[in-house]
Amino acid sequence: MSKLGQVVESVEKYNQFVLDQVKRARTDEKFGRDLLGRWNDIKAKIPVSRAPTGLELPRLALPEIDEPGEIARYLFGEGLPGEFPFLNGAYREMYLEPVREVEEGSYGKNGGETNGKIDKKILQAEEPTRLFSGFMLAEDTNERFHYLTAHQRTHRLSTAFDGPTLYGIDSDADGVFGKIGEGGVAIDTVEDMVRLYEGFDLGAPTFSASMTISGPAPIIMAMYIAAAKRRFGPKVVPKLRGTVQADIFKEVQAQNETIFPTEASLRFLTDMVEFTTREMPRWYPISISGYHIGEAGSTPVQQAAYTLSNGFAYAEMFAARGIPIEQFGPRLSFFLDCGLDVEYIALSRVSRRIWAIGMRDAFGAGPRGQMFKLHTQTSGRSLVAAEFKNNLTRTAAELMLAYMNATNSSHSNSADEPFTTPSEEWIRLAAHSQAILLEESGIFKHTMNMLSGSPGMKAVERAVEAAILEEFREIERMGGVLAAVENRYQRSQIQNAAHRYEQQIYDGTRPIIALNKYRNGEDDAPEVKLVRTPRSKQQLQVDRLTKFKKKNAEKAKRALGKLADVVERGENCFPALLEAVEVCSLGQITERLQEVVGRFRPMV
């Protein structure tokens, strides 16, 4: 049995445990009395919050139950926000506005200590904004980064790379000229990486960098470290904060940006994780992503099931390498899609619960390693060009669902995305939709659990959990995640679902307003002016690369030879990568590694 089979068993056992506790609370009088006592205690300590109208509300809403069995079902089955199994939230207060005036007789008195801690945390919290950006050359993206963060206390950058970089190819490779700097920034060498983050204090606690790249992630990660060292010296390394996507499984299952055979990619990934969890305790070396699985057309249940099972497979792999779970467990984070299908009412809630139980009971992780830290993005696929302003409504509804699921952070898509790279006008409106829901409206800021636990939500939770576990069992029957991936199981399931979705749109069983229903036939998408990378800039990138290669030709040969030897010997290649990026380009390293481990063979 792989760990995934054990996860299924753990969840089944845990569900049985909850039922047992319910029964026990009803039959064992002392146990029932204790539970009731605890419940009343919890309720008594809930602080009061006050709406701008003056209405007083509890900061935490709990079901109105006073029967020990139901209390047991709630406390063990769902947990309070911030408590195992984290159904209602990874943290206690999530989006609540800070307590401004501590009221006598409530929070200040009863929960003083905790309150103090939380308050401090909120006051120092980072702005949730992390806008995805990357275009043209490193200096162009750098300028945009400075513009985006000009008025921010904290600098949270999110980097998009161009196609050649995502595929580990150099800008001077045959036939990629038109793709340089398109859809993301062009990075070929450590010198580009220095330019990309010029002017930012990479070691500062207020800075963090996110890099959305998976296939060549270890090479790009090494370049980032090398660039930081060039600017701040070797002591900066343990201070570096940020994340690199590095999710190989979802690439093979859905997004197709893989450059080495799966097993070799996983090995390089583990090399990187071993290094970063040891040397860079504040870095998140992987973002386990369902977003691209969802966008490739999976059903919501497939998205959650494949993402979670990928996560458990990574955990199994890192543990097998000997990386302590207390080291890597808290360094895993997740990224999910949120669309309009009904499953999204509870998909992330259920995911958080399964992750917590699996990590605790199948992997023996402590509390920090049980937490499913989630970034949610609204569904790009749900947006359409026809009467595109409707996309504002779609995105707002999706955001609402994301917050009902207590996501830790979120990205809302621009309404103009179906036909262009988002323009500033619509980006601004998209960002505002988050602020309107969290800050302007009273829905999420006064009371935790405001919309949790309705009978409908519970029904969705039960159905979704059962379906996810069934997917796990199917994957387990195939021999686990890696075996299923190699059998193209997830890929073909996603493709089937995508095909069905398209069919439903065309036959009208899936209404898309203004597209297949209530259509006025007009194309109201404005003719947009796209920002394209000028040829002169693309040529500049190629010229820089040529110069770099010429300058380092001799050293590169030696570094690549050394890297290849390390890989042949089966050692952790990350230290050799760190040396190689000083004198080699991304494409040179990719090619040399491909000679040793082979190229990825695409799956159809």
Partner 1 sequence: MASPIRILTAVPICDGHDSAINTINLEFIRHGIEVIYLGYHRSVGDIVRAAIQEDVRAIGISSYNGGHVEFFADVVKHLKKEGAHDIKVFGGGGGTITHADAKAMERKGVDKIFFAGTSLDEMANYVRENYSKPRQKRSLAKTRDIELARRLTEIEEAKGRKAAKSHARSTSTARVIGFTGPGGAGKTTLIDELVLRFLSHKPKARVAILSHDPSVVGEGALLGDRATMINSQHDRVFMRSMATRGQAGGLSPATEGCLRELIGAGFDYVIIETVGTGQEAMPFQKNGIVDMTVLVMNPDYGARLQLQKIVMLDLADIVVVNKTDQARARAAISEIEQRLDQNRRAQQLVASVAKRHRDSGVDQLFGLISGDGLARAATKKRR
Contact footprint for partner 1 (CB under 8 A)? 162-164, 166-167, 169, 174-179, 182-183, 251, 255-257, 261, 264, 295-297, 384-386, 417-420, 479, 486, 495, 498-499, 502, 506, 515, 523, 525, 527-528, 530, 532, 596-599, 601-604
Q: Are 269 and 323 in contact (CB under 8 A)?
A: no
Query: Which residues 6+ apart lie within 8 Å of 523 measured at CB?
Result: 385, 386
Nearer Cβ to partner 1, position 545 or 597?
Answer: 597
| Burial call 297-331: b when 16+ CB within 10 Å, e when fewer | bbbbbbbbbbbbbbbbbbbbbbbeeebebebbbbb
Residue in 108, 149, 147 with CA at minimum distance from that of residue 126: 149
Nearer Cβ to partner 1, position 47 or 297?
Answer: 297
Shortest Å, Cβ 574 to partner 1: 20
Shortest Å, Cβ 227 to partner 1: 23
Q: Are 422 and 428 in contact (CB under 8 A)?
A: no
Shortest Å, Cβ 136 to partner 1: 12
Shortest Å, Cβ 303 to partner 1: 14
Q: How far is CA 102 from CA 99, 107, 110, 124, in A?
A: 6, 7, 11, 18
Nearer Cβ to partner 1, position 201 or 387?
Answer: 387
CA separation for the pair 344, 551 (Å, rounded): 53
Shortest Å, Cβ 299 to partner 1: 14
Shortest Å, Cβ 531 to partner 1: 11
Nearer Cβ to partner 1, position 123 or 604?
Answer: 604
Nearer Cβ to partner 1, position 257 or 461?
Answer: 257
Tokens standing for residue 285 = 């070396």
Shortest Å, Cβ 493 to partner 1: 13
Q: Are strands 409-411 and 207-212 parallel, antiparallel or unpaired?
A: unpaired
Shortest Å, Cβ 335 to partner 1: 17
Query: Which residues 6+ apart lie within 8 Å of 284 measured at CB?
Result: 242, 243, 244, 331, 332, 333
Nearer Cβ to partner 1, position 479 or 561?
Answer: 479
Beta strand segments in 238-352, E = 242-244, 283-284, 286-289, 332-338
Nearer Cβ to partner 1, position 153 or 518?
Answer: 518
Nearer Cβ to partner 1, position 173 or 225?
Answer: 173
CA separation for the pair 358, 9 (Å, rounded): 9
* Dihedral Cα 438, 289, 268, 162, nearest 10 deg: -80
Query: Which residues 6+ apart lie within 8 Å of 4 measured at CB?
Result: 309, 312, 313, 472, 475, 476, 480, 481
Nearer Cβ to partner 1, position 96 or 497?
Answer: 497
Nearer Cβ to partner 1, position 523 or 543?
Answer: 523
Q: Is 31 exposed, middle or buried (0-12, 13-18, 19+ CB in 10 A)?
A: middle
Shortest Å, Cβ 41 to partner 1: 52
Q: Are 35 and 81 in contact (CB under 8 A)?
A: no
Examine residue 367 and say whether the peptide bond preceding it is cis (omega within 30 degrees of 0).
Answer: no
Residue in 165, 244, 246, 241 with CA at minimum distance from that of residue 200: 241
Sign of the alpha-carbon dihedral angle for 254, 347, 466, 84: positive
CA separation for the pair 222, 586 (Å, rounded): 10
How crowded is residue 78: how many other Cβ atoms within 10 Å of its Cβ? Answer: 23
Nearer Cβ to partner 1, position 251 or 341?
Answer: 251
Shortest Å, Cβ 146 to partner 1: 24
Q: Are 247 and 313 in contact (CB under 8 A)?
A: no
CA separation for the pair 163, 185 (Å, rounded): 9
Shortest Å, Cβ 469 to partner 1: 24
Nearer Cβ to partner 1, position 48 or 515?
Answer: 515
Shortest Å, Cβ 295 to partner 1: 8
